[in-house]
Amino acid sequence: MKCVGIETSCDETSVSVVEDGRVVLSNIVSSQIDIHKKFGGVVPEIASRHHVSNIAYVVDDALNTANISFDDIDYIGVTCGPGLVGALLVGISYAKSLAYSLNKEIVPVHHIEGHIAANYISNPDLKPPFMALVVSGGHSHIVHVKDYTKFEIIGKTRDDAVGEAFDKVARTLNLGYPGGPLVSEEADKGQALYSLPKTKFDNYDFSFSGIKTAVINLVNKEKENINIQNLCASFENAVCEILVENTIRAMQDYNIGTVVLAGGVSANKKLRKLIEIESKRNGYTAYMPELKYCTDNAAMIASAAYFNYINERRYNIKERLDLNAYPSFKLGEKM
């Protein structure tokens, strides 16, 4: 079964063709990073306009690369939330029109479910149940993945998402946007010599605003004497330790021996290494997506769509003409 996945929740226009949830025939990502860079972050209105002008080309490119025509499409998966509402609407409107004209079924996909599903592409033997550490620009969750479409969020950030904290630290240090990879690049050249606060709770929640503020205060105090590389290394180390400590504790308490990383921050080298080391130490197995499937892409959406499709979470478009963007779409909810 061939699924066309469509993802436009933020600043990437992405379309992919995936077979049976695991085999990627094409995955085209048209990034708007260069356009938003000068504003230091994504400007929602500009993102929507670019999705409109890009989407038809990206669909064509995805079908051509997969060497299929519209007639070969079995169903369509599309991100319906969470995300920027105007940006989501572009992908959803295109997906609805496509489904209507081809008379194919449509699967509404939760963006974070997509990030988790990226692991099914990169790790063909991976099956639920497992624990997922979801770390992205807008989310920091520990999710108990009970089955392909059954999720329980057992920990989440009480303030900033971890990717957002990386981006804010990068902005404070004038490193550029998006900040995560740039902070990590500097961290590789430094040592974790600054002492930064690690906020802990009795449950599995996170908080990253304290460490972010500590970095900003240090920069304001030390001014030109600040060692950027050491500060980045200290920040990255502390954040990765908090993420991994919490996740391993959740795995011990829930008696779950498999963990996956998901979301843009799962591209972070330090985090990938630390989760592997700590998993091994505890006799657990860690999986992660290939780097190309960590940040937003439509292959992960088509993969998640497959597992929803086979679990009857799919619609005849003519019975779901009201399908919309759901910015507060809950993980595991049936839309």
Tokens of residue 310, six digits: 């086979």
Tokens of residue 75, six digits: 């169903």
**Cβ at position 240, least distance to Mg ion in Å:** 19
Whose CA is closest to 144, among 135, 134, 158? 134
**Cβ at position 327, least distance to ligand ATP in Å:** 11
Binding range to ligand ATP, per CB under 6 A, among 198-206, 210-218, 260-268, 321-329: 260-268
**Cβ at position 4, least distance to ligand ATP in Å:** 20
**Cβ at position 243, least distance to Mg ion in Å:** 16
Asked if 212 contacts 165 with a C-beta cutoff of 8 angstroms, the reply is yes
Q: Which of 295, 299, 300, 329 binds ligand ATP (CB under 6 A)?
A: 295
Binding range to Mg ion, per CB under 5 A, among 54-62, 132-140, 159-167, 175-183: 132-140
**HEC string of the chain?**
CEEEEEECCCCEEEEEEEECCCEEEEEEEEECHHHHHCCCCCCHHHHHHHHHHHHHHHHHHHHHHHCCCHHHCCEEEEEEECCCHHHHHHHHHHHHHHHHHHCCEEEEEEHHHHHHHHHHHHCCCCCCCEEEEEECCCCEEEEEEEECCEEEEEEEECCCCHHHHHHHHHHHCCCCCCHHHHHHHHHHCCCCCCCCCCCCCCCCCECCHHHHHHHHHHHHHHHHHCCHHHHHHHHHHHHHHHHHHHHHHHHHHHCCCEEEEECHHHHCHHHHHHHHHHHHHCCCEEECCCHHHCCCCCHHHHHHHHHHHHCCCCEEHHHCCCCCCCCCCCCCCCC
Q: Which of 5, 21, 77, 163 binds ligand ATP (CB under 6 A)?
A: 163
Q: Going by DSSP bridges, is the β-strand pair 105-110/75-81 parallel, antiparallel, or unpaired? A: parallel
Q: Compare residues 184 and 266 and give the one whose CB is closer to Mg ion.
A: 266
Q: Compare residues 63 and 331 and give the one whose CB is closer to ligand ATP.
A: 331
Q: Compare residues 131 and 262 and give the one whose CB is closer to ligand ATP.
A: 262
Q: Is 81 in the site for ligand ATP (CB under 6 A)?
A: no
Q: Is 186 in the site for Mg ion (CB under 5 A)?
A: no
Residues in the chain: 335
Partner interacting with residue 268 (select from Mg ion, ligand ATP, none; CB below 5-8 Å by kind):
ligand ATP
**Cβ at position 291, least distance to ligand ATP in Å:** 8
Q: Which of 136, 247, 297, 308 binds Mg ion (CB under 5 A)?
A: 136
Q: Is 296 in the site for ligand ATP (CB under 6 A)?
A: yes
Q: Give the position of tokens 């050249």.
A: 189
Q: Compare residues 248 and 265 and give the one whose CB is closer to ligand ATP.
A: 265
Query: Measured between alpha carbons, how far is 331 from 151 in angstroms, rounded to an integer?
Result: 7
Q: Which of 77, 155, 190, 264 binds ligand ATP (CB under 6 A)?
A: 264
**Cβ at position 81, least distance to ligand ATP in Å:** 9
Q: Which of 176, 181, 257, 332 binds ligand ATP (CB under 6 A)?
A: 181
Q: Compare residues 84 and 187 and give the one whose CB is closer to Mg ion.
A: 84
Q: Which of 145, 296, 303, 307 binds Mg ion (CB under 5 A)?
A: 296
Count of CB atoms situated within 10 Å of the CB of 252: 12
Query: Measured between alpha carbons, how far is 296 from 263 in angstroms, rounded to an integer?
Result: 8
**Cβ at position 10, least distance to ligand ATP in Å:** 4
Partner interacting with residue 278 (select from Mg ion, ligand ATP, none; CB below 5-8 Å by kind):
none
Binding range to ligand ATP, per CB under 6 A, among 136-144, 211-219, 222-230, 304-312: 136-144
Contacting positions for ligand ATP (CB under 6 A): 10, 83, 111, 115, 136-139, 163, 166-167, 178-181, 184, 263-265, 267-268, 295-296
Contacting positions for Mg ion (CB under 5 A): 136, 296
